Chain A
């Protein structure tokens, strides 16, 4: 019989099975990673020694830009090339109910088809197929801090059990989502015709993190205008000294994700970017930045939890009600509580 759920032994067994290609075990581990807490930390420990190989690719863009469809095309090509890609497809949770509709898989039909065939082959006794894709949908689960913790851990896990590349797909709407993609080895930003002009392209944010630009729906009118605006924006980066020190200029690729036109070129550009990172030593610096931001996010989350606890404590409630009654300013209350917090448990 199976050991009790979530016991340390259970996690080791799940991890070993996942490394052996057992999808259900990996699916389970990802759930625990998402849930956070002690199990997630233990899984991180298990995965740590085996990780650090995969090419981490972030794909982002506005809702409806065609990210999932493009990802599906890329994954189909990766499988053909004998790769074993993992996809982490992030969609927002409702801030009101906490629920979510995770609809990225539906756009990856081709890929799912391949996976199903492989699953059938595995069931027929041909053993687990280590070449196929693994798609996992993830909801942002309200507080954006959760995403910043769960994504790096899920990526580490995919990497450790042998998936490469690991593709993170997020809607480029929030700072955390942009950060998550920006922390990848290669950030692909998907734009489409009709999303605005050159002024939009020069606004700060999403476009600044791109290592590769994709103009999707390139068969639609206005696609060349978008390309020109992006080109101009990159020219201005040169002018203002914002371009990368070694002269790397993000390529702009035209795709039609529905038909797959341009998908091989996107993969080639991602591979070329990785070569560039390796040659310039930037892969290491990106990894360092990633590690630092993960540590920072974890510490911030724990401190936030401690803050909640402190506010709920007797002392916290007392100071809180004093401040609420106007007896002391909020600044005094927070300073006193912070001092108490940093002094450690009484």
Chain B
């Protein structure tokens, strides 16, 4: 089914110790209003708990919110944990990520990075595109 019309299932979580969840709650609402099903895990998640949720929920994408400058460690760890569990699910990072780190996150396997200025349309489009690209890659 095309990613535009189906109910995409997106997991949203804060990975590690980071209590700033206002942004993630806004993103949850944006994705809901874009017609997606948001599985909201909230604060203090681990790579293991996110992998377990992704398996059980058959998630199409995983959104991680990072405001603690831990993204260069935590986001690649998430990508690795998914790979280890043989889950082919795109990881999208949102939050405060310096420009210099964006390319490095892409290299580490992160599908997309969303910064503070992203519009609602952009957030929804980036998630849809990431799912679409991932499926195209899986079929190739």
- Check: B111 CB closer than 8 A to any chain A CB: no
- In the complex, the answer to whether B53 meets A112 with C-beta atoms within 8 Å is yes
Q: From the candidates A27, A99, A139, A141, name the one contacting B58 in the complex (CB within 8 A).
A: A27
B123 contacts across to A, CB distance below 8 A: none
A135 contacts across to B, CB distance below 8 A: 53, 56
- In the complex, the answer to whether A123 meets B85 with C-beta atoms within 8 Å is yes
Name which of B31-39, B66-74, B102-110 contacts chain A: B31-39
Closest to A2 in B: B138
- In the complex, the answer to whether B49 meets A31 with C-beta atoms within 8 Å is no
Docked complex: B38-64 residues within 8 A CB-CB of A: 38-42, 46, 48-49, 51-53, 55-58
Q: How far is the CA of A93 from the CA of B9 in the complex (A)?
A: 12
Q: From the candidates B1, B29, B40, B56, name the one contacting A134 in the complex (CB within 8 A).
A: B56
- In the complex, the answer to whether A23 meets B40 with C-beta atoms within 8 Å is no
- In the complex, the answer to whether B42 meets A106 with C-beta atoms within 8 Å is yes
- In the complex, the answer to whether B51 meets A116 with C-beta atoms within 8 Å is yes
Chain A nearest CB from B34 CB (Å) reads 6
- Check: A52 CB closer than 8 A to any chain B CB: no
Docked complex: B1-17 residues within 8 A CB-CB of A: 1, 7, 9
Chain A nearest CB from B17 CB (Å) reads 15
Chain A nearest CB from B125 CB (Å) reads 15
- Check: B86 CB closer than 8 A to any chain A CB: yes
- In the complex, the answer to whether A105 meets B58 with C-beta atoms within 8 Å is no
Chain A nearest CB from B53 CB (Å) reads 6
Chain B: number of interface residues, binned into ranges: 20 to 34
- In the complex, the answer to whether A113 meets B42 with C-beta atoms within 8 Å is no
Q: From the candidates A24, A94, A99, name the one contacting B87 in the complex (CB within 8 A).
A: A24
- Check: B28 CB closer than 8 A to any chain A CB: yes
Q: How far is the CA of A113 from the CA of B48 in the complex (A)?
A: 9
- In the complex, the answer to whether B52 meets A119 with C-beta atoms within 8 Å is yes
Q: How far is the CA of A134 from the CA of B55 in the complex (A)?
A: 10
Q: From the candidates A26, A35, A106, name the one contacting B40 in the complex (CB within 8 A).
A: A106
Contact bitstring A95-111, B, C-beta under 8 A = 1, else 0: 01111111101100000
Closest to B59 in A: A27
- In the complex, the answer to whether A99 meets B35 with C-beta atoms within 8 Å is yes
- Check: B84 CB closer than 8 A to any chain A CB: yes
Docked complex: A113-164 residues within 8 A CB-CB of B: 113, 115-117, 119-120, 123, 134-137, 139, 141
Given A94-B32, A141-B7: A24 touches B38 (CB 8 Å cut-off): no
Closest to B124 in A: A99
Given A23-B56, A116-B49: A105 touches B32 (CB 8 Å cut-off): no
Closest to B87 in A: A24
Given A24-B87, A136-B56: A99 touches B39 (CB 8 Å cut-off): no
Chain A: number of interface residues, binned into ranges: 20 to 34
Closest to B12 in A: A101
Q: How far is the CA of A135 from the CA of B35 in the complex (A)?
A: 22
B52 contacts across to A, CB distance below 8 A: 23, 112, 115-116, 119
B40 contacts across to A, CB distance below 8 A: 101-103, 105-106
Q: From the candidates B28, B39, B51, B84, name the one contacting A137 in the complex (CB within 8 A).
A: B39
Q: From the candidates A30, A96, A97, A119, name the one contacting B51 in the complex (CB within 8 A).
A: A119
B84 contacts across to A, CB distance below 8 A: 123
Given A99-B31, A139-B7: A31 touches B58 (CB 8 Å cut-off): yes
- In the complex, the answer to whether A116 meets B48 with C-beta atoms within 8 Å is yes
Given A102-B40, A112-B49, A120-B48: A27 touches B35 (CB 8 Å cut-off): no
Contact bitstring A3-27, B, C-beta under 8 A = 1, else 0: 0000000000000000000011011
- In the complex, the answer to whether A27 meets B56 with C-beta atoms within 8 Å is yes
Most chain A CB neighbours (cut-off 10 Å) among B9, B32, B87: B32
Can you name 18 A-B pairs with beta carbons within 8 Å?
A: A24-B86, A27-B55, A93-B7, A98-B7, A99-B7, A99-B32, A99-B34, A99-B35, A101-B28, A105-B57, A106-B41, A113-B49, A115-B49, A116-B46, A119-B52, A136-B57, A137-B39, A141-B7
Q: A residues engaging B (CB < 8 A)?
A: 23-24, 26-28, 30-31, 35, 93-94, 96-103, 105-106, 112-113, 115-117, 119-120, 123, 134-137, 139, 141
Q: B residues engaging A (CB < 8 A)?
A: 1, 7, 9, 28-29, 31-42, 46, 48-49, 51-53, 55-58, 84-87
